[in-house]
Structures are given as C-alpha cells and as structure tokens.
Amino acid sequence: MSSPSIIPASLESGLNKKRTAVKLSGFALFFLSFQTLGIIYSDIGTSPLYVLNGIWPASGDVPPTEDIIGGISAIIWALTLLPLIKYVFISLLFGTQEGEGGSYALYQGLYPPEDYDGNLDRTLTGDSYKVASHTPTTISERFRLPLLAWCLFGTALTIADGMFTPAVSVTSAVGGIAVAKASVSAQIIPISIVLLLVLFIAQRFGTASLSFMFAPISFVWFLLLAGTGVANITSHPGIFRAVDPSRAVMLFVRTGDYDILAGVLLAVTGCEAIFANLGQFNAMSIRMSFAGFVYPSLVLAYLGQGARLIRDGDAVLNNIFYNTIPGPANGPLFWIVFVFAILATIIASQAMITATFSLVQQLVNMKALPPLKMSYTSETIQGQVYIPTVNWTLMIGTIIIVAAFSDLAKLTNAYGFAVATVMFSTSILLSVQMRWVKQWPAFVAIGYFILWGFFDGLFWGASLKKVPLGAWVPLMIGIILMLILSFWTWAKGLEDKFDGEHRENLRHFIIPETGQDEPEDEDAEEAEEDIKPKDLQYFYRAEADSEKGEKGESELLPLVRLPTCAVFHKFARGQGAPHTFTAFVRQWPALPRVVIFLSVSVVPIAHVSPDDRYAITKVRTVQGFYGVTAYLGFRDDFDIRAGDMIEKICALELQMDPRQLSGTVNKIRAVARSTTHIAPHYHVISKHIDASKFSLVLNWCRKYLIEDIYRRLMTMFPETANWLFAEEIIRVGINAKI
C-alpha cells in the first residue's frame, strides 16, 4: 500500500519532468534568432579580419590570381561543409533532452545519468517506481572510459578556445588602427587588454542583457561585411569562379602547400560555439540566423577581399581586411568599419565566453567539476548562466596570452589547433551517437565519419604542424584541464559509489519494540499501522563487529526520543536512509520527535511559489518521519524554510486525521520550534588496492590524490556553499573509505 502524501497540484504532473529545449514560434522565435547574432556568430563573423593574411602573410609575396581564387574557394567550401552543414544542420539534432549542446552533451547522450524523482519515501522503503528515462543505448560499457576521456579532452580544448578567441579577435581588430595611424601601432597590446577587461567585467550582467545590446551591433557588422563585399566584388567579378570547389582542389594540387589549410581553418573558428550555445537558445533560432543571414554575409565578404587582392596586390597585402575597405584609409567608411570591428570583436569574445559558461554548467551538473557558484541570468532559459570563478579565470588567462603572444601570427598559430581538435572530437562523438542513440543504420554513421572525419582530419593535421610555433599553448591548457576534469570525475564517482553501497534500509536500521523487521507481506504492513505510536519504543541496529566478519551479528540498542525537529539533507542519489541519519543516530543514540529527510529537485521553470515548493510523504515505518522533496526554480535561492515544511506536514496529518484525536499536529508544531539542519561531511580515506608489484607506488599515488588533494577541494567547494542558511547547518562527519 502507498504512503500518504501531499504533492503540489501545479507540479504533480511534472515530478519526473526534465528541463527541455526551448520551443518558440512566431515573433518570439524571430527575436531569439536576432539575439543569436550577439552571442554565437560574432566569433566566426570576425574571422574576415585575419583569415586572408593568415593564408598569405603580409611579409610574403602577392599570390597569383589562380591561387587567390583557389584560396577563396577553400574558405567558402569550408564554411559550407563545417559550420553550415555539419554544425547547423546536423550537430543541432544531437542536443540533450534538456536542450544542451557541446562535446559533453554528446557523451551524456551515450551514457545518460540515472533519472531520479527525489521522493524520499520510495528510496527509504525500497518500493519500486518508474521514472522517465533517456533513449536506451546498447553501446558497450567498455567504451565508456575512452569516450569519456576523449569527450573531456574536447571539452577542455573548447574552454581553452574561450581564452584564445578574445585574444585573437580583439588584437586583430585593434591592429587596424595602424593602417590609418602608424604612430600608435606600439599601443595595440595595451589597448587590447583594456578592452578585454571591460568585456569580462560586463559578464556579470548576464547573457540576456548582453545579447540585447550586442545583437544590433553584430547585425550592422554583418551588413557592413556584406555591403563592402558586394562593392569589392565589382572590381573583379571573375572572383565568382571561387564558388567552384574544383578551384580549391586544384590549389593544393598545383602548389602542394598543405599549410594553406591552417589559414583556411581560421575562417571556421567559432563552429563549436554554434553547438555549445544550443542551451542558450534553440536549434531553429540558430538555423534561421546562420543560414539566412550570417553565411551569405561571410561569403560575400571573402569574395570581395579576394577580388581586391587580385586587382590591387601589394597595395592591400599588408592588412587585407582594412586595406580593402572601399574609399580612402582615413575616410568616413573606414572609421565606421573600424569602430564596428572593435565592437564586433568584443562581442566575438562573448561567443566563446558564453559557450564556456554553458559547458562548465554541464560539467558541474554531471559532477565533473566542483559545485561552483552559478548565477542564472534569464527568467525563461535555464542555460543562460554566469559563473564568476570561470569568468575571472578566463580573464586572467586571456590577458596573459595577449601579453605573451605580442605577434598576431603566433597567436593565430596557437588558435587554430584548439579549434581543429574540438571539431574532430565532435565528429567522432556524433558518429557514435548516430549508431547507438539515434539508432540510424550503420552505413550512415560510418559514411558521416568518413566524410567529415576526412575534412576535420585535414584541418587537424595542418594545425598539428603549428605545435612548435605556438599551438603547444592551447594543447598544454587542454591537457591540464582534462586532467582536472578526469580527476574530479574519478574521485567524485568513488565517493558516490561509497554512498550508494553503504546506505541502510530504514526498516532494518530502526526497529520498533515488537522486534518486527521488515514486513513479509501486505497484511503485516497493515498490522504495523495498528500499533499505537505512543506505545512504541525504538531501537537502532549498531554496526556489526568487524572481528566477526561481514556476517557478524549486530546489537540492537535503545533510542531516546528528543522533543525537537531535525532536517537531514540528501545529496547523492540512491536508495536507503541517508548517511547523515545513520551516522547521527550512532554518534548520539537519540531520535528526534520529527525527522525530515529532504531532497531538492530543480525544475525547469525560473521560480516556484512557496505554496507549491514542498511535496510531503509520510514514512510508515517510524512515527514522526517524513520524506520531503523541495522543488526550486533554477533562479530560486537555495533557501529552505523549515516552518513552511512543518505547515505542509501538519496539513498532511489533518488530511489523515481531521479530528486530530491523537493531537499529532500540536505535538509537531511544539517540537518544530527547535529545528536543526544536518548535512553530511565525508572524510575520505583512500582504500588500499592490490596491483601486483606496483601496488606500493599506486597506493601512495592514490592516497595522495584522494586524501591530500580531493579532500581539500571538498572543503573549499562544499555542497552547501550557496545555501542561504549555511551557518545553521550541523555537519555530521562520515568516514568514507573509497
């Protein structure tokens, strides 16, 4: 028989509801598409500032006409195959059910986390229940570790990319001032650093506010790219031959210069931001804005630059973007484009910063990073988030990179490697998802990997040659971040495994004076309810003596009921009484008169009203025990009011006994005047493992990682750090041998 419960009517149909992708239509969809211009595309939209000089450096000779046409063709088809087809039309199909994108979202689709509805009573009694689940996969568990490592590496490089994008974009734009004012060329680096400081300080205002300001600027920027492109194309209409992909192929056949691809790669920087920012917007808004506006603007801009390079040669090679602006170098159009280039590159940096926030949010939710402080900045979209720690770390890293790589050529060498590696990582994970998650035919997945893996591999190979020239920096950053992510995933997994394996069934742990253990049938359960609660004396089962072995007999010891109320918080998922409770009872053999086992569930709406916040279930096993699920909106503060829970509990008791013959409600309110919040604090201890002749070294390393590093990080980033009532919490120490 089911336990009595009260569930808020407004949430009853959505207890297992997960956050879903944002669905909009009409003007709302159009407006969201407009907002994407200010967040997602400014990175790829500022590539025309430096791509052609990345292919043909200012210090080199002017390339022949056919080479220019071939290079522009390679850029156009790179834009078509990668951001347009691969990311906009294919990758966006593979977001999570919550609407998230990026490398880690692809891994989450392959090995989804176990869903959990937070109902404490079900986990305490072991009753079976159904929860919503992801599409089941048949991929073998033996691939989990290598795919996780590959995913973490791709995610780490995306975060590293979040440092290089602002550095390259802003420095390139500011460098244009040297075209008109050569005397200030020495001030490019200081000016760039000041602009970056302003950008990172502005992050606290949130994605929604920034996109509202940035989108109009990006819109004008793309119009300028398209307009100047059309004007420049008229100088040499023959540039349209670049639309033929054979021109790109013939360029590499004729020159044999594989390094050209490293320059072409710069034209598609920002691809991963299209996918990673899926959680900030939605797939349709991204498709509309890119295919309908961004892509044609970029194609026109590159065609125009190529046309002017063919016609003017040496006159524009020094800085192809700024020297191909129609009109004089000090003319009105030049300064208009210059101002919008500065603004656009600041916004371009926003694309990867925002994508980094979204990725870190996923990593924290999947327990691959410590619980960092997050600030949700939108009332409608849960993926729009600001993470102060990440913001300031990116700021420091970006400024160091700008100062260290004073030469733009070295910056672009370093930049391309991270982009190429992340694209290759995404292609592998997408092909695996096609087969085992989408259940598409094997030839589709294989064909996709062969085709796009080939293109990604070409770019990756070209960028790999740049490692000695500066690309070792993002590689080093990516490896360090991957090690951090892998370490936290491993250590947190061991802690959660310990938590799940060492919980105790409440019916086995707290025994009434009748000595009755868990009922064997339904009649016995009903008989249990007939026992008068006031006559019951409870006992707890002491820990078995380790000397008697695992099957040793455990002693039953009496418990004293205390006239107080205790709220025991649960962090990890799993069945059984939380460790806070069992550890508390064994340290202080007493049972509070009212015990609340509390789970928190974040629902996909911004705010939950106080009236709808708590779902109450009465535990039948022990008098005065209740399971409570607190529902919080993603913008609600973590502020759990004991008084509100007590009123809901009293309402449940009145529902069960309207005349209150037993006076339960008065007793509950009397003891609830003194309420204590109790949370676990795991004192992790490394478990000794046998590993042949290397056991001594491995155990020492394991002990150092768990006890000296992970234990300290747990203290620095506690689960309760963001709770408004953190000072009221009593922590129960639990030795966890992991």
Which helix H or strand E contains 305, and what residues bound it?
Answer: helix 295-312
* DSSP helix/strand/coil, 257: coil
The model's confidence at residue 522, banded by pLDDT at 50, 70 and 90, is very low
Mean pLDDT of 318-344: 89
Provide, rounded to the nearest whole percent, the portion of the chain with pLDDT above 70. Answer: 82
> Does domain 38-116+151-414 correspond to CATH entry 1.20.1740.10?
yes
Would you say residue 112 has pLDDT above 80? no
Q: Is the pLDDT of residue 523 over 50?
A: no
pLDDT digits (tens, 9 = 90+) for 235-270: 999 999 999 999 999 999 999 888 899 889 989 987
More confident residue, 468 or 393: 393
Evaluate if residue 487 carries a pLDDT over 70: yes
Mean per-residue pLDDT for 360-385?
A: 72
Q: What's the pLDDT at 142?
A: 79
Q: What is the mean pLDDT of the chain?
A: 81
Mean pLDDT computed over 724-731: 73
Supply the pLDDT for residue 301. 97
Mean per-residue pLDDT, 659-680: 85
Q: How far apart are CA 646 and CA 652, in angstroms?
A: 10
Residue 693 pLDDT more than 80?
no
Residue-wise pLDDT tens digits, 43-101: 789 899 989 988 998 888 999 999 999 999 999 999 999 999 999 999 988 877 666 67
Q: Which pLDDT belongs to residue 512?
A: 86
CA separation for the pair 102, 673 (Å, rounded)? 48
Structure confidence at residue 234 (pLDDT): 95
Is 655 a residue whose pLDDT tops 50? Answer: yes
Over residues 205-228, the pLDDT tens digits come to 765 556 667 889 999 999 999 999
Bridging pattern class, strands 625-633 and 675-685 = unpaired
How confident is residue 649, by pLDDT bands cut at 50, 70 and 90?
very high
Query: Residues 6 or more apart from 28 whose CB is under 8 A from it?
Result: none
pLDDT-above-90 percentage for the chain? 27
Q: Tell whether the model's pLDDT for residue 533 goes beyond 50.
A: no
Q: Whole-angstrom distance between the N-terminal and C-terminal Cα of the chain?
A: 37
Per-residue pLDDT tens digits for 584-599: 898 888 999 999 998 8
407: confidence class by pLDDT, cuts 50, 70, 90: low
DSSP class of residue 622 equals S
Segment 180-199, tens digit of pLDDT: 666 666 777 888 888 888 88
- Looking at 268-277, 335-344, 622-631, which range is the least confident one? 268-277
Lowest mean per-residue pLDDT among 11-20, 164-173, 523-532, 560-569: 523-532
The domain ranges of the chain are 38-116+151-414, 502-737
Each as own residue / partner, the long-range contacts of residues 196-200 (CB below 8 Å, 24 or more positions apart, any chain) are 196/166, 196/167, 196/170, 196/349, 196/395, 196/398, 196/399, 196/402, 197/395, 197/399, 198/346, 199/166, 199/170, 199/346, 199/349, 199/350, 199/353, 200/353, 200/391, 200/392, 200/394, 200/395, 200/398
What's the pLDDT score for residue 515? 47
> How much is the pLDDT for 274?
84
Q: Which two tokens stand for residue 249?
A: 């192929």
CA distances from 416 to 41, 77, 460 (A): 17, 18, 9
The pLDDT value given to residue 362 = 72
Question: Is residue 299 very low, low, confident or very high in pLDDT (cuts 50, 70, 90)?
Answer: very high
Query: What residues contact residue 692 under an 8 Å CB cut-off, 6+ apart?
Result: none
pTM here? Answer: 0.77
* Greater pLDDT, 137 or 202: 202
Q: Answer with the residue of higher pLDDT: 576 or 523.
A: 576
Helix (H, G, I), strand (E, B) or coil at 318: coil
User: Counting beta carbons within 10 angstroms of the beta carbon of residue 189, is it exposed (0 to 12), middle (13 to 18) or buried (19 or more)?
Assistant: middle
Tokens of 570: 């649960």
Q: Nearest-CA neighbor of 221 among 79, 41, 73, 75?
A: 41
* Average pLDDT for 578-583: 85
Q: How confident is the model at residue 308 (pLDDT cuts 50, 70, 90)?
A: very high
pLDDT tens figures, 120-157: 334 333 332 233 334 445 577 778 888 888 888 877 88
As given in the structure block, the two tokens for residue 66 are 């056919």
- Please compute the mean of the pLDDT values over residues 5-18 and round it to a whole number: 52
